[in-house]
Protein backbone atom coordinates (compact mmCIF):
# COMPACT_ATOMS: atom_id res chain seq x y z
CA UNK A 1 0.00 0.00 0.00
CA UNK A 2 2.87 2.42 0.63
CA UNK A 3 4.39 1.77 -2.80
CA UNK A 4 2.47 4.74 -4.20
CA UNK A 5 3.89 7.21 -1.68
CA UNK A 6 7.36 5.82 -2.34
CA UNK A 7 6.83 6.10 -6.10
CA UNK A 8 5.76 9.71 -5.63
CA UNK A 9 8.95 10.46 -3.70
CA UNK A 10 10.99 8.93 -6.53
CA UNK A 11 9.14 10.98 -9.14
CA UNK A 12 9.61 14.13 -7.11
CA UNK A 13 13.33 13.45 -6.73
CA UNK A 14 13.81 12.58 -10.42
CA UNK A 15 11.82 15.61 -11.53
CA UNK A 16 14.00 17.89 -9.45
CA UNK A 17 17.14 16.39 -11.02
CA UNK A 18 15.98 16.64 -14.64
CA UNK A 19 14.76 20.20 -14.17
CA UNK A 20 18.04 21.20 -12.60
CA UNK A 21 20.00 19.65 -15.45
CA UNK A 22 17.56 20.69 -18.18
CA UNK A 23 17.36 17.18 -19.62
CA UNK A 24 14.75 14.54 -20.38
CA UNK A 25 14.38 11.39 -18.35
CA UNK A 26 14.18 7.96 -19.93
CA UNK A 27 14.70 5.77 -16.86
CA UNK A 28 15.34 5.70 -13.12
CA UNK A 29 17.63 3.02 -11.70
CA UNK A 30 16.57 2.03 -8.21
CA UNK A 31 18.02 -0.34 -5.64
CA UNK A 32 15.48 -2.03 -3.39
CA UNK A 33 16.54 -4.20 -0.47
CA UNK A 34 14.37 -7.20 0.39
CA UNK A 35 13.96 -5.92 3.95
CA UNK A 36 12.05 -2.85 2.77
CA UNK A 37 9.08 -5.15 2.15
CA UNK A 38 8.39 -3.32 -1.09
CA UNK A 39 6.61 -5.23 -3.85
CA UNK A 40 8.47 -4.54 -7.08
CA UNK A 41 5.52 -4.95 -9.46
CA UNK A 42 3.38 -2.69 -7.33
CA UNK A 43 6.12 -0.07 -7.16
CA UNK A 44 6.57 -0.07 -10.95
CA UNK A 45 2.81 0.26 -11.51
CA UNK A 46 2.69 3.06 -8.94
CA UNK A 47 5.61 4.80 -10.65
CA UNK A 48 3.76 4.83 -13.96
CA UNK A 49 0.74 6.29 -12.21
CA UNK A 50 2.81 8.93 -10.44
CA UNK A 51 4.45 9.95 -13.75
CA UNK A 52 1.15 10.38 -15.52
CA UNK A 53 0.74 13.90 -16.92
CA UNK A 54 4.19 14.97 -15.80
CA UNK A 55 7.31 15.51 -17.97
CA UNK A 56 8.41 12.09 -16.71
CA UNK A 57 5.55 10.26 -18.36
CA UNK A 58 6.85 7.36 -20.45
CA UNK A 59 10.03 6.96 -18.41
CA UNK A 60 10.82 3.58 -16.90
CA UNK A 61 11.63 2.45 -13.40
CA UNK A 62 14.35 -0.21 -13.37
CA UNK A 63 14.53 -2.02 -10.06
CA UNK A 64 17.56 -3.92 -8.86
CA UNK A 65 16.82 -6.28 -5.96
CA UNK A 66 19.29 -6.21 -3.10
CA UNK A 67 19.50 -9.48 -1.14
CA UNK A 68 19.83 -9.50 2.64
CA UNK A 69 23.39 -9.92 3.87
CA UNK A 70 24.08 -10.66 7.53
CA UNK A 71 27.30 -10.99 9.49
CA UNK A 72 27.93 -14.35 11.11
CA UNK A 73 29.59 -13.84 14.50
CA UNK A 74 30.92 -17.41 14.49
CA UNK A 75 32.39 -17.66 10.97
CA UNK A 76 33.25 -13.94 11.04
CA UNK A 77 32.11 -13.51 7.45
CA UNK A 78 29.19 -12.00 5.55
CA UNK A 79 26.46 -14.39 4.46
CA UNK A 80 23.48 -13.97 2.21
CA UNK A 81 20.18 -14.93 3.84
CA UNK A 82 18.48 -17.73 1.93
CA UNK A 83 15.12 -16.78 3.46
CA UNK A 84 13.62 -13.88 5.34
CA UNK A 85 11.96 -16.30 7.76
CA UNK A 86 15.20 -17.12 9.49
CA UNK A 87 18.05 -14.72 10.28
CA UNK A 88 21.12 -16.84 10.68
CA UNK A 89 24.29 -18.14 9.09
CA UNK A 90 23.59 -20.43 6.14
CA UNK A 91 26.78 -22.38 6.86
CA UNK A 92 27.06 -22.86 10.63
CA UNK A 93 23.53 -22.04 11.72
CA UNK A 94 24.35 -19.30 14.23
CA UNK A 95 21.44 -16.86 14.57
CA UNK A 96 22.44 -13.28 13.87
CA UNK A 97 20.57 -10.00 14.09
CA UNK A 98 23.35 -8.07 12.38
CA UNK A 99 22.02 -6.97 9.00
CA UNK A 100 24.63 -5.42 6.71
CA UNK A 101 22.58 -5.09 3.57
CA UNK A 102 18.97 -5.36 2.47
CA UNK A 103 17.36 -2.16 3.75
CA UNK A 104 18.35 -0.08 0.70
CA UNK A 105 15.86 2.13 -1.06
CA UNK A 106 18.02 4.24 -3.22
CA UNK A 107 17.94 5.99 -6.59
CA UNK A 108 21.35 5.10 -7.97
CA UNK A 109 21.24 6.63 -11.44
CA UNK A 110 19.09 8.40 -13.99
CA UNK A 111 19.08 7.66 -17.69
CA UNK A 112 18.76 10.99 -19.46
CA UNK A 113 18.81 12.51 -22.91
CA UNK A 114 20.02 16.08 -23.46
Partner 1 sequence: MKSQPRLVEVRKNVLKQNDMAARALRERFQAAGVLVVSLVSSPGSGKTAFLEKTLTMLRPHHRVAALVGDLATENDALRLARSQAPVKQITTGTLCHLEAAMVETALEEWNLDELDILFIENVGNLVCPASYDLGENLRLVLTSVTEGEDKPLKYPTIFNSADVAIVSKMDLADAVDFDWEAASGNIQAVRPGMQIFRVSSKTGDGMDDVLGFLADRLAELRPVVV
- The residues of the shown chain that bind partner 1, judged by CB under 8 A, are 1-2, 5-6, 9-10, 13, 17, 21, 26-27, 29-30, 35-38, 84-88, 95-97, 99, 103, 105-114
CB-wise, 17 or 48, nearer to partner 1?
17
Closest CA to 28 of 67, 16, 74: 16
> Can you count the helices (H) and strands (E) in the chain?
2, 6
CB of 85 to partner 1, least distance (A): 5
CB of 52 to partner 1, least distance (A): 18
Q: Which is nearer to partner 1, 42 or 54 (CB)?
A: 42
> C-beta of 53: minimal distance to partner 1 in Å?
20
- The CA-atom distances, in angstroms, between 23 and each of 43, 59, 97 are 24, 13, 43
Strand partners, 38: none
Amino acid sequence: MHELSIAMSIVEMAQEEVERRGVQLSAVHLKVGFLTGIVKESLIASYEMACFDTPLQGSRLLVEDVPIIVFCPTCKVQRQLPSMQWFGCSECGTPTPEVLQGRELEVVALEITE
